[in-house]
Amino acid sequence: MTLSPLIQLEDAEFARTAAIKAKQNVELELGDVQTQLDDIMRSKSDLEDRLLRTCRERADLSTQLEDNEEELQEVMKKYKASVSQLSVDQVRKRKQRICLDFPDFHNFLLFQFTDHHSGTYQQSI
């Protein structure tokens, strides 16, 4: 049983039409996949740019933090020196006030000090 050439031709045209439709469907799917890939690549590129900017900002902030810490250390040194000097100045002022308020007491202390140390005295006020 052989098929007639007309039936064979119809079968071939049907197969050709089906193949063309299948090819068109694959091409559409490929286009969709390509569009998705392009979108993903754009997103990836955007994220890489954002990561790079963030890393630069982090490095800048890290450097700024180090600079601020150094500056804070310098300020703390100056603060401690000021507090120390203030303490010295306050002690000196107290001694001066005592000497002004009680001149006889100051002379008494000088006399006691020089008497006990064989007549030598170095004034510290």
**What does the pLDDT look like over 61-102, one tens digit per residue?**
999 999 999 999 999 999 999 999 988 888 888 888 877 776
Within a domain: 124: no
Within a domain: 66: yes
Within a domain: 80: yes
Torsion sign across C-alpha atoms 88, 93, 95, 96: positive
Domain residues for the domain of 14 are: 5-116
Within a domain: 125: no
Percent helix / strand / coil, the chain, rounded to 5: 90, 0, 10
pTM: 0.50
Within a domain: 111: yes
- pLDDT tens digits along 17-70: 999 999 999 999 999 999 999 999 999 999 999 999 999 999 999 999 999 999
Domain count, the chain: 1
